[in-house]
Structure 1
């Protein structure tokens, strides 16, 4: 049977809403939608590119804890309340995923908190 376990980022949202930052299921890692909050301080930047950077730092930390890295990401979803903000994220996304080239989708959606300008969800396959 494949090993399955949860990883937490320490976000208050995880406990409040009953989810894990990531779930490792065998060689797959499913990373929950991750916003630009710095979960250690529960602060968030007003800048969408800085929020994208923080999202990816949080995702990278979860993947590292799972025994992987950003290089293992095979699928990413970008969720933004304002599609016009996506272009400002391009340099950040290119720096993190330019060599990885995961399958990607960008969607315009409503997010839980109006301070949130981007949420990123990722799936990875561990190559350990």
Structure 2
């Protein structure tokens, strides 16, 4: 099967050796995604805004891979403060309320920058070509 690497253009992709997303066959894996635009953190101090921004980035990567949010079967949400789960969950629900992928949310001690509150991974399985 052909492999398609999707880049977000982040400088860290070449340094660390990763892609924003990878598609092989009908499966798309989206790497851990944070609320960064270049080296700027979006939504500092606001878990809801960071989650929305992250999910928008994930949606763009999925589209580039030929998938949609409808194809997402799993999300993994890493938060630095589990007490903010409701704000993170509210934003996740705005994107996935009717799709309902399997989802996990766990608290971690830190993300790569102290201002980051949320990191999300996603797995999509394309069941049909988008129209």
Q: TM-score range by the shorter chain?
A: over 0.9
Query: Is 1:120 matched up with 2:120?
Result: yes
What is the match of residue 30 of structure 2?
31
**Is the contact made by 1:81 and 1:118 (CA closer than 8 Å) also made in structure 2?**
yes
C-alpha displacement of 1:101: 0.5
User: 2:91, 2:33 → 1: CA distance?
Assistant: 15
User: 1:69, 1:38 → 2: CA distance?
Assistant: 22
**Is the contact made by 2:35 and 2:50 (CA closer than 8 Å) also made in structure 1?**
yes
TM-score, normalization: structure 1? Answer: 0.92
User: 2:56, 2:24 → 1: CA distance?
Assistant: 21
C-alpha displacement of 1:14: 1.4
Q: Aligned-pair RMSD on alpha carbons?
A: 1.2
**Is the contact made by 2:41 and 2:116 (CA closer than 8 Å) also made in structure 1?**
no
TM-score, normalization: structure 2? Answer: 0.90
C-alpha displacement of 1:9: 0.9
**Is the contact made by 2:78 and 2:118 (CA closer than 8 Å) also made in structure 1?**
yes
Matches within 5 A, 1:1-128: 2-39=1-38, 42-46=40-44, 47-109=46-108, 110-127=110-127, 128=129
User: 2:42, 2:122 → 1: CA distance?
Assistant: 20
Structure 2 stretches lacking a partner, 5+ long: none
| 1:12-61 superposed Cα distances (whole Å, 9 cap, x missing partner) | 2212211000000110000000001124x734221111110110011000
Q: How many residues align?
A: 126
C-alpha displacement of 1:125: 0.3
**Is the contact made by 2:4 and 2:65 (CA closer than 8 Å) also made in structure 1?**
no
Give SS of 1:111's match: coil
